[in-house]
Amino acid sequence: MASRTILKESQIMKIHYITGIAAIFVVALHIMMRLVVPFEQSLEYDYIIANYKNIIYVLILESILVLISVHGFNGIRIILLELRQSRAWENMVTVVTISAMIGLIAYGTRTIILANGL
């Protein structure tokens, strides 16, 4: 029954649960950091750019990006795997979700780096 894969399903699910639970904390921190000023003000251009220059804010943003991308795309992989059962479908789902995960992390990281002005 078990197929040859790089990671065992139990290892993937450990990552899934850890990223899911960790995301709760970093998203909570992220929301709290946004709440220190009135909502309108938090959306102003200068305020946002200033946030991107704050290294702690940036580290939290990057970790949300990585945690939610890994967790979310694996979540989508799980959902899609249950829809159909064939080797071709499974391989396609794995390749597409991992590529999308890497693509989103790369694009998000690029935005963070550009806004930070590094």
Partner 1 sequence: MNNTTIDNKNERRITLKVYRENRGQDSGSHHDTFEVPYKKWTTVLDALLYVKSYMDPSVAIRYSCRMASCGSCGMKINGVPKLACYTKISELETSTVECEPLPNFPIIRDLVTDFSRFFNHHKSMQPYIQTNDSTEADNSKGTFSFYQSPEDVDKYLQFSYCIKCGLCYSACPTVGTDLNFPGPQALAQQYRYFADTRDESKKRLDIVDDRHGIWRCHFAGSCSKVCPKGVDPALGIQLLRSYMLGISKNDKIPAKKIEINDDNNNNGKI
Residues that bind partner 1 (CB under 8 A): 1-3, 5, 8-10, 12-14, 17, 78, 81-83, 85, 90
Q: Residue 52 or 69: which CB sits closer to ligand HEM?
A: 69
Question: At its nearest, how many Å lie between ligand HEM and the CB of residue 41?
Answer: 25
State yes or no: residue 12 binds ligand HEM (CB under 6 A): no
Q: Which residue's CB is nearer to partner 1, number 38 or number 87? A: 87
CB of 26 to ligand HEM, least distance (A): 8
C-alpha 72/C-alpha 89 separation (Å) is 19
User: What's the full length of the chain, in residues?
Assistant: 118
